[in-house]
Amino acid sequence: MISGASTQGQTLPMGQQIEIRRGNMQAVLTEVGAGLRSLRVAGREFLDTYPEQESAQAGRGQVLLPWPNRVEDGRYTFQGKTYQLPINELPRNHAIHGFTRWMNWHISQREKDQVTFALTLHVQEGYPFLLALQHTYKLTERGLEIETTAQNVGPTPLPYGIGHHPYFTVGTERVNCATLRLPARSYFQTNERMIPDPKPLPVEGTSYDFRQTRKIGALELDTGFADLERDTDGFARISLSTAQGHPTVTLFLDESYRYVQVFTGDPLPENERRRGLAIEPYTCAANAFNNGLGLQILQPGETTRSLWGITVTL
């Protein structure tokens, strides 16, 4: 099902709403940004989301390309040349979350249980490169799988990273009552402008140690994590649950996703703060265009793929 880009004659802020289904699972994706607006299982919503008549504020469900999080002062040096990106986080004077989350993607393939979006990112201010992107959502036996393919279709190497910004809920009024398991051995400290020290610190003995499931409580998080522990299949798994242990939302991240940002939403307006937990898979760390952590350099013609997904257990 594709609902039109308009409702009662009005154009929807995020464009067409594309619904995919499998069994008792349903996801809704958006034309603008190829974003994830809804994920329902047995009729129950597991995203802290927004109505189709509104836009995706605070990054809700957005895909972050060709970099996630911040580039300090929007400035970076690549292969001996310095570039200046547009500043779109004005209070801190940073470039944040890439370009494509506000672009119109087109549907290149669609079936009942999956959809593939495509976009060519042409040269942008501060990013004079050419990137062909495909982004697929697919409902499978294990849940919603999200796969991204990026190819350098330009004549020169380019810097690349991807992140995702879903906010999850397991039905608690605030995330304080929810429990989190995040198998990360280290975390990043940040300065007052939210730029991380490039050397992560061990979580052991700190309030950031979620290697064993525990309640989030009043802890404020806008924190990057690294050194993910992985299962024998190569996936790192992050789980959000109620105190009773069900329902549970589990993210599974392939080895390309080496970092995770977790955000409790404390700076958001009162009616939105701590309502959902943003668990953000990243292939590179914040400020990677400067610190190089996880940053991929794609040569002309080179392709990279990444996969993560969401399993809901009722």
pTM above 0.85, yes or no: yes
The pLDDT value given to residue 8: 57
For residue 23, the enclosing domain spans 2-313
Structure confidence at residue 105 as a pLDDT band (50, 70, 90): very high
Q: Which two tokens stand for residue 43?
A: 């009729």
Long-range contacts: 44-47, Cβ < 8 Å, 24+? 44/171, 44/247, 44/314, 45/169, 46/168, 46/169, 46/170, 46/247, 46/249, 46/310, 46/312, 47/166, 47/167, 47/168, 47/169, 47/276
The count of domains in the chain is: 1
Residue pLDDT, tens place only, 65-101: 999 999 999 999 999 999 999 999 999 999 999 999 9
The pLDDT value given to residue 32: 98
Q: Residue 9 above 80 pLDDT?
A: no
Residue pLDDT, tens place only, 34-75: 999 999 999 999 999 999 999 999 999 999 999 999 999 999
Structure confidence at residue 10 as a pLDDT band (50, 70, 90): confident
Q: Residue 7 above 70 pLDDT?
A: no
The pLDDT value given to residue 182: 98
Written as one letter, the residue type at 307 is L
| pLDDT above 70 as % of the chain | 97
CATH number at residue 24: 2.70.98.10
